[in-house]
Amino acid sequence: MPSDTSRVLIALLALGGAPGVCPASEGAPDELLPMYLSAGELLNNCAASSLTSLGRERRRFCAGFISGVEESMRLAQERGHDADADAMCPPSKVSARQLAESYARYANQNREELNRPAAEVVAKALRHTYPCR
């Protein structure tokens, strides 16, 4: 049975609720707005070159996706739907780019998880990087 955090993340992703990500419109490349995203594919977006417009767009997608997962986790915690073991406590002024960088570090150190769903690995990375004390 999925945890409350998993249900919130699934609902957010099903609604396309990652901040900075708009539903696909005419002319939008399908590869930028996938229906299913693995942790490895997200890592590729996070590591895209900032020297090209496509690379910058992929990096914004990465940061928005991770921010959406972080916000879902935070809301679940605030509403008491998350067990203490699943809690994460990022600093109040953490940026989307900092969240993306922490995910990239975690994903590179845990490459065996790259075939898992991106939201699942992002949640693990955030709990690992920002544990509650």
Give the percent of the chain with pLDDT over 70: 69
Task: Give Cβ neighbours of residue 85 (< 8 Å, ≥ 6 apart).
Answer: none
Domain map of the chain by residue range? 4-15+36-129
Question: Is 16's pLDDT higher than 50?
Answer: no
Give me the pLDDT at residue 79, please: 83
pLDDT value for 132: 87
- Higher-pLDDT residue of 53 and 133 is 53
| Ranges 69-73, 79-83, 107-111: which has the least confidence | 79-83
Which residues are 38's β-sheet partners?
A: 117
82/104: higher pLDDT: 104
Residue 129 φ/ψ region, left for φ over 0, alpha for ψ in the -120 to 50 degree band, beta for the rest: alpha
Label residue 109 exposed, middle or buried (CB < 10 Å: 0-12, 13-18, 19+): exposed
